[in-house]
Structures are given as structure tokens and as C-alpha cells.
Chain A
Amino acid sequence: MRFSLAELMVCAASRVFDDDGEVLATGIGLLPRLAASLAMLTSNTDLMMTDSQSFILSRPNPVSGFRGHSGQANENWMGFSRIFDNVWSGSRHALVGPSQIDRFGQTNISALGGTYAAPKVQLLGVRGFPGNSICHANSFFVPKHSKRVFVERECDVVCSIGYNPERLPRGYALEDIDIRQVITDLCVMDFAGPQQHARVVSLHPGVTLDEVRNNTGFDLAVSDTLAETAVPTTEQLAVIAQLDPNNTRAKQLKDDPPGVRVSERGPA
């Protein structure tokens, strides 16, 4: 059975929601949204999801070929202010794609380089990352695993709280922070290493541990049960095809690589 790397990553990312029960699943970006939608239709049918506009849906909308919001499976109105009511109550799991992730699981989407008064590159701004990170579970999606993303030092602008003892607020323990998994084009990681350090949990088919280490700016722990990332099932691929009838997932990773790697990639 043939499958693409994008499909492998979507299936791996969908698993982060498996044991969540009845929470709001938010995937930002096409592949993360596809992952959350796949989970809601297969492994965790209790998940809740929005139309990315103002309603909770009882069935996710397709991510391509969707002509308009009328006729969608509305469950309740969910404007942005009400999203915050949900976020602050903690019953949400976001799957997002930061520009930088550091050894502590802190992330950056705000700005790169220069000074804070005049950054070299202005990015999005902190958006909802500070609140998401202190209030509810978060997982990260990284389309290209590199040292530019997995930085050697702390993130240029720390937008989300991670497992950094130096930044831990008074009255908090590291266990109060809830970063679940990181899905990249090379592997799946979590932060369950010693002192909540980043740890490789599974390698995608054809990827070596060296390849992951050579493309990461900090030391990685390795799970005792290091596995190969599970490949998509026929059912998962069928649901993905239904959710994305125009195959926009093929345009998300450069050259749409196959799910089983043939040659090693050197350091980026």
C-alpha cells in the first residue's frame, strides 16, 4: 500500500487526540486540521471541533472542495470570545506549527533575530500561544525537522510556557505544563525524558536516529521502547481522502515525498 509522508504524519498526529475524551480539538494549518478531523471520525468520536469560524460541528468540514458554510453540521455557536471561555477552562488540545521549538518545549511564532524593538523578521505575534500553553494540552506539528526549528538556545521570543525550571512561575510544578507530542517529517517526540526533556518515541519508516539528532539543535533522549511510526491503515487513508478530495495535502510538503524514505537526508 502506497502512502505519502504527509499522510503518515497526519495519521501519527491524529493519535495525539486518542485518549482526550470530550475536548475541543484544534488543528491549525491544513495537515494538523486534517489530523484532528481524522481523529474525530475514527479513533476519538467524542472530540469537538469548530468550523474555523464561529460554530462547533458534530461532523468536521472537508479541508478542500468546500463551497460554503451553509448546510454544515452545526452543533452550537462558538464565536471567538467563547473559544476563550473554553481555552481557559482547560478542555482543549491544540495541534500547532511553531517556527521555533527549544529543548524545554517552549515555542516561538512571534519574531526572529534582531532586537525585540526591531526584529530581523516579524512573524505572527504571540497570538493565543501564552494562554493555550498555560491552560490546556498542546502538541506540535513540524513539516521540516531542522536546527532552524529545533533551536540550540532558547527560542528568540518565548511565546508558550514549557518545561524550563528557570521560567516556572511561583506555585507551579513542571507537571502542570502539558505538552504532549511533536510530529515532524522524521519522527514523533514527546517531553517525557529525564526532567521532561525532549525524547524520540518513534522514527518514521527509513529514518535513522542519527538523522534526527543531526537535524536537532539540542540533545535528545530516546524512549526505551523506540518504535517505527505506525503506517496509515486503509481506513485512515480512505477517511483522509474523503476529508481532502482535492488532495491539497500533496502540496504541503516539498515534493510530496513518499511515506517510506529511500535515502537518508543529511544535516540541514
Chain B
Amino acid sequence: MNKLVSAEEALSVIRDGMTVGIGGWGPRRKPMALIRALLRSDVRDLTIVAYGGPDVGLLCAAGKVKRVVFAFVSLDFMPLEPAFRHAREQGAIEVTEVDEGMLLLGLRAAAWGCPFIPTAIGLGTDVIRNAPHIQVVDSPYDDKEWVAMPALNLDVALVHATRSDTSGTCEIASPDHYMDDWFVRAGKHSIVSVDELVERDYFHDAEVARRVFWERNCTQAVVLQPGGAHPTSNDPLYGFDVSHFKRYAELISEAGFTGWAEAYLGEDETAYQQSVGGLDSIRALPLPVY
């Protein structure tokens, strides 16, 4: 089955009000080309589930978001994502703020078809008080109370991988695949953008096959977009773009989403990449050192 489509074609499944999960972590391996295509569309009122970075910030700034399910939204070297911070302080978005691990459990519950997973995480904290729909329940097996972390069912999951073939077998060659496998499994419909397209026999190498973290029947659409994670990293191909993030933060604070969009968003990904110096300069971005 050939699942290779354009970003616009892939994203046409997303309707107003849907819940969209986004893979990656902060400024690392985010499906940014897909996010930019969403920014150019007229979709709105989305619920976003993510370990947030500029993906969440931009969608909030553009007015696409009703609610964010998050544990943090950060650019790492810039601890507070500027657009998300602004949206929160304006009261512009609803939030469900959960622990990083609760978010993982919610994705697992969705992936496994369970209504919830019991956990001690969140007990005694404002996570429970501020999210009244997250219930604390009795256990049939002990006398303690447990947080019933509800399934985070995703209408659509968006992730960015290193490579795939057209059937949707995806390799993540980065040091960490983060929770991308759980986003994909929690999603009814998963769209994977990739930097490189390969033939099916590329995966015959057992070392490569070890870097495939979900089966191809979890992937519904493949979008080829070299440099598609920019300005986030796609280790080992390129690092994140510190100078672009600094410019982004300035534009967001001085001129809001419109200021950034006029300077960078462009009418398509080709225009975007030209505005940030071209694909070769993206590929030359140094890998982060922690």
C-alpha cells in the first residue's frame, strides 16, 4: 500500500474540534512542516496533546487551539516557550496540565483501549484539583486511592521520523524516539513526515529494523519533507536552530503571530525554507550537546 501523500492531502483528515497529538519533545524532532501546513489551513478549535515546543506555541499564537494537554512547553535553552507563555497569561486557551508520565499513561491507555490507567502520580498535587475531570478512585486490591489517568484518545497523531518507505515503515535514528510510538498507537489516524524516503529493502538490515518503533499498520500517511523538523532538531541529520528560535521569540513578543508569519510562514514549505536560509543551511545546523 502506497501511503505517500502531500502534507495538505494528509492533513485534510483534520476537522475543527479534533484532538491532535504531536510527537517529539520540546525543540526536538517535531513535525514542524505539518504544523506549518496546519497554520496555513483554516482548521480551528483543536485540542493539542504534546510534550510541547514551538509546535504548541505557534498553534496557540495562530488561534488554532481550544485546549492544550501538556506537562511543559519549552524550547530547552529558552525554558519558557514565548508564544505559549503569552497565550496562557492572556487566558486565551484552556489547559489540562498533567505530569509528563501521566501524559504517557494517557497515551498508553488510548493505545490499549483502556478507559484509564491507575497511578499514584498526581496525588496530593494541584494537577488533580485543576483538572476536575481526572478522577481519584478506590482500588479493589488495596486501601489506597489512585489517580485514574484517562485515555488520551487522539483523532490524529503527527510525528516526524528520520526515514520511511512508502508503506509507512518508519525509522527513528535519533538517540531517543521519545513517546512517538505511543502517540502513533494512541492515534486513530497517524501521519508521519520524514526527512528521507527509502526502499523497503533498506529495513532488511537488522540494526535498522531495531530502530522501527511501530508497525506500518499504525501509519496511515507518509509525507516526505527534507528539513521538515526545522527549527527543531532531527538528530542525527541536523540540530535545532538557536538563532531562528531567538528571532521567533523576538517576533512573537514584538509583533505576535502575524509578525512571525509575514516574515517566515510563506505559502508553502519551499517558501518557508527559502526564508530560513535553505535546506543546505538546515542540514548544516550542529547537533545539540547536553
B25 interface hit (Cβ, 8 Å)? yes
B120 interface hit (Cβ, 8 Å)? yes
Of B25, B74, B97, which is in contact with the most chain A CB atoms at under 10 Å from its CB?
B97
Binary per-residue interface labels of chain B (171-205) against chain A in the complex, 1 for a CB within 8 Å, 0 otherwise: 00001111100100000000000000000000000
- Closest chain A residue to B142 by CB distance? A171
28 inter-chain pairs at a CB distance below 8 angstroms, sorted by A residue, are A53-B175, A68-B287, A69-B289, A79-B175, A79-B178, A80-B179, A81-B182, A84-B104, A88-B121, A106-B125, A116-B130, A118-B88, A118-B89, A118-B90, A118-B91, A125-B72, A125-B73, A126-B71, A126-B99, A126-B127, A128-B99, A134-B120, A135-B120, A135-B121, A157-B130, A160-B125, A161-B124, A171-B144
* Contact B121–A134 (Cβ < 8 Å): yes
B209 interface hit (Cβ, 8 Å)? no
Binary per-residue interface labels of chain B (89-103) against chain A in the complex, 1 for a CB within 8 Å, 0 otherwise: 111001001111110
Known contacts A130-B99, A133-B125: A55-B175 contact under CB 8 Å: yes
* B110-167 at interface with A (beta carbon < 8 Å): 119-127, 129-130, 136, 142-145
B290 interface hit (Cβ, 8 Å)? yes
Residues of A within 8 A of B98 (CB): 126
* Contact A125–B70 (Cβ < 8 Å): yes
Range, interface on chain A: 35 or more
In the bound complex, CA of A146 to CA of B165 (Å):
56
**Closest-CB distance, B42 to chain A (whole angstroms):** 27
Prevailing SS type, chain A contact patch: loop
Residues of chain A touching chain B, judged by Cβ–Cβ distance below 8 Å, are: 51-55, 66-69, 79-81, 84, 87-88, 106, 110-111, 114-131, 133-135, 157-162, 164, 167-172
B79 interface hit (Cβ, 8 Å)? yes
Binary per-residue interface labels of chain B (5-43) against chain A in the complex, 1 for a CB within 8 Å, 0 otherwise: 000000000000000000001000000000000000000
Known contacts A84-B101, A84-B104: A130-B122 contact under CB 8 Å: yes
B84 interface hit (Cβ, 8 Å)? yes
* Contact B70–A68 (Cβ < 8 Å): no
Residues of B within 8 A of A126 (CB): 71-72, 97-99, 125-127
* Contact A127–B71 (Cβ < 8 Å): yes
B271 interface hit (Cβ, 8 Å)? no
* Contact A158–B126 (Cβ < 8 Å): yes
In the bound complex, CA of A115 to CA of B94 (Å):
12
Residues of A within 8 A of B129 (CB): 158
B216 interface hit (Cβ, 8 Å)? no
* Contact B126–A159 (Cβ < 8 Å): yes
B44 interface hit (Cβ, 8 Å)? no
The 9 closest A-B CB pairs, nearest first, are A118-B91, A171-B144, A161-B124, A52-B290, A54-B175, A125-B72, A122-B88, A54-B176, A131-B121
* Contact B72–A131 (Cβ < 8 Å): no
**Closest-CB distance, A70 to chain B (whole angstroms):** 10
